[in-house]
Amino acid sequence: MAFEISLAGKTAIITGSNSGIGLGIAWELARAGADIVLNSFTDNTDDHALAAEMAKSAGVKVQYIQADMSKGDQCRHLIAQAGRCDILINNAGIQHVAPIPDFPVEKWDAIIAINMSSAFHTTAAALPMMRAAGWGRVINIASAHGLTASPFKSAYIAAKHGVVGLTKTTALETAQEPITANAICPGYVLTPIVEKQIPDTMKEYNMSREEVIEKVMLTRQPSKQFATVEQMGGTATFLCSDAAAQITGTTISVDGGWTAL
Q: Which residues are catalytic?
A: 156
Question: Directed axis angle between helix 20-31 and helix 229-239, to 10°?
Answer: 50
Q: Which of 160, 156, 112, 141 is nearest to 26 (CA)?
A: 141
Relative to beta strand 136-141, strand 87-90 is parallel
Q: Which of 229, 103, 220, 219 is nearest to 159 (CA)?
A: 103
Cα Rg of the chain, angstroms: 18
Tally of residues, the chain: 261
Burial 15-40 (b: 16+ CB within 10 A, else e): bbbbebbbbbbbbbbbbbebbbbbbb
How far CA 254 is from CA of 127, 148, 227, in Å, comes to 26, 14, 7
CA distance 117 to 121: 6
Chain Cα centroid distance, residue 245:
20
